Structure 1
Amino acid sequence: MAVELKETIDKRREEIMDACEKLYETKGFHSITIKDISTETSFSRPSIYNYFQTKEEIFLGILTREYSKWNEALRKIIDGGKKLDADNLAKAIAKTMEDRKTLLKISAMNLYEIEDNSRLELLAEFKSAFKESVDIFEECLAKNLEGIDKKKCEQIRYAFFPYMYGIYPYVYPTDKQMEAMDQVKLSYAKTTIYNMSYDFLKLIFE
């Protein structure tokens, strides 16, 4: 590959990730191929491999980008100036989750496989964005919740971050899952990403 400016490389990686994310809205992870992604972009399949070695690396790039966007939203809570009580902090963090459907979907459905099939340097880049989310989340708690200490912040984080991985499957069950629940008469309440985030945060903030 000819020497390229970082700005050009980043722009091309973004185009590839955008195409993959668009496909992910209507197709399952395992159904998407590099050929499909190529069709959605201006790149041939061999060209895509200049920027990502595997399909999983493209998804990891999307997830890294998603966490970076979430970090920006969380940072706005901290920079807002006004101190929030537990209820309003739960609402504010839940609001940041509303636009993170892709983050929640990838994390719930395909994270282990994506991490396992990506280069270490890209995985480290993702973990850096993830760590920033952890740090900013705890900073939000420390700034707003009266009398909270570092240990309590960590306990809340350890409860919420694993919980996040269950939000997408619960909010967006498949038709087959719904049919199975109906057959066994398992009650199911329709909900939203915001409501699941808010209800849980409100509970653990008390």
Structure 2
Amino acid sequence: MAVEHKDTIDKRREEIMDACERLYETMGFQSINIKVISTETSFSRPSIYNYFQTKEEIFLGLLTREYMKWNDALKSIIGRNTDMNKDALARAIAKSMEERKTLLKISAMNLYEIEENSRAELLVEYKKVFKDSVELFNECLKKYTDVSKEKRTQIRYAFFPYMYGIYPYSYPTDKQISAMDEVKLSHLDITIYEMTYQFLKLVL
């Protein structure tokens, strides 16, 4: 059997993750499986197992890729040759978060199950990228605010758990809205950007 080049493996993994992401836009996590994903790729179901052992590993790869993209956005904020006040920083981070809908959706809905059903080495790879996100977020605060190291740590421990609640609040289902209306529970029509900005504005 021919040995595949790393570039070829990476391309094929990307194609599989792209298919999974497309499906996740219209289907629930439980409805997606490797057979369904294979129908959106040029691979058969058995071929996909050469690159991912479980569907959770595909989602973990997708989440890792999403964090890498967010890291690039945070690096861009850090690299700006301009001073930003706290409000401008909150807006910049909110903008970067607005572009990571898939990251927020996976984190809110299925993260625990995905981590539990992925190989340890892939989980470590994801955690490394996540650690980079935490450090880059901290670097943004350090560069553009005058808050203490202790305060930056407090903001970080508030922001990252808060992130996991952004998607459900921004994209409630019709069923959830109907139930809230039934009990007269007020709810806002709010975007990812607005939720992120308003939170950072409060804590910075």
What TM-score range do you get, normalising by the shorter chain? over 0.9
Superposed CA offset, 1:39-74 (max 9, x none)? 000000010000000000000000000000000001
Does 2:176 correspond to 1:171?
no
Other-structure match for 1:24? 24
Shift of 1:149: 2.2
Cα distance in 2 between the residues matched to 1:56 and 1:83: 41
- Where structure 2 has 5 or more consecutive residues not aligned to the other structure, the ranges are none
Report the residue type matching 1:169 in the other structure.
P
Other-structure match for 2:109? 109
Cα distance in 2 between the residues matched to 1:144 and 1:34: 44
Aligned length, in residue pairs? 204
Other-structure match for 2:138? 138
Other-structure match for 1:200? 199
After TM superposition, the structure 1 = structure 2 runs for residues 54-93 of structure 1, keeping only pairs within 5 Å, are 54-93=54-93
Superposed CA offset, 1:121-141 (max 9, x none)? 000000011000000000000
Report the residue type matching 1:2 in the other structure.
A
Report the residue type matching 2:124 in the other structure.
A
Report the residue type matching 1:109 in the other structure.
M
Cα distance in 2 between the residues matched to 1:139 and 1:116: 30
Report the residue type matching 1:81 in the other structure.
N
Cα distance in 2 between the residues matched to 1:135 and 1:33: 34
**Identical-pair percentage:** 73
Shift of 1:33: 1.3
Structure 1 stretches of at least 4 aligned residues deviating more than 6 Å after TM superposition: none
Cα distance in 2 between the residues matched to 1:47 and 1:66: 24
Other-structure match for 2:154? 155
What is the Cα-based RMSD across aligned positions, in Å? Answer: 0.7
Report the residue type matching 1:94 in the other structure.
A
Cα distance in 1 between the residues matched to 2:112 and 2:46: 26
Give the TM-score normalised by the residue count of structure 1: 0.98
Report the residue type matching 1:179 in the other structure.
S
Shift of 1:152: 1.2
Does 2:198 correspond to 1:185?
no
Report the residue type matching 1:192 in the other structure.
T
Give the TM-score normalised by the residue count of structure 2: 0.99
Shift of 1:150: 1.7
Does 2:39 correspond to 1:39?
yes
Cα distance in 2 between the residues matched to 1:152 and 1:184: 39
Cα distance in 2 between the residues matched to 1:183 and 1:11: 48
Report the residue type matching 2:164 in the other structure.
Y
Shift of 1:81: 1.6
Other-structure match for 1:118? 118
Report the residue type matching 1:144 in the other structure.
Y
Q: Which piece of structure 1 moves more, 124-133 or 149-158?
A: 149-158
Cα distance in 2 between the residues matched to 1:185 and 1:2: 63
Superposed CA offset, 1:123-177 (max 9, x none)? 000001100000000000000002x222111110000000000000000001110
